[in-house]
Structure 1
Amino acid sequence: LRKLCILDEFVFNTFTKLNSWSGSFSLRSISIIISANLHIYSALLAACPNLVRLHLSVSFIDKNSLTTFHHTNLKHLQLRLSTSEWSFDMFERFLVCVPNLQRLVLQRFTWNVEKSNLNLENIHFVRILNQCLPYLHRFDCDILFHSRANTININNLRQLHSCFTRIQLERKDEIERLYTNN
Structure 2
Amino acid sequence: MAIIVYVKAGECLILSSEQPFLVEINGSFFMSRACGLDVGDRWVGVAISDLTRTIVRPYTTVERDELDAFLQETIAKEKITLMVVGLPKTMSGTESDQTKRTREAFDALQSRFSTVEWVWCDERLSSRCAASMGKHVAPHKTTKDKMANEKRKEHARAAALILDSYLLSGRGSLDK
Q: Work out whether the TM-score is over 0.5.
A: no
Greater share of helix = 2
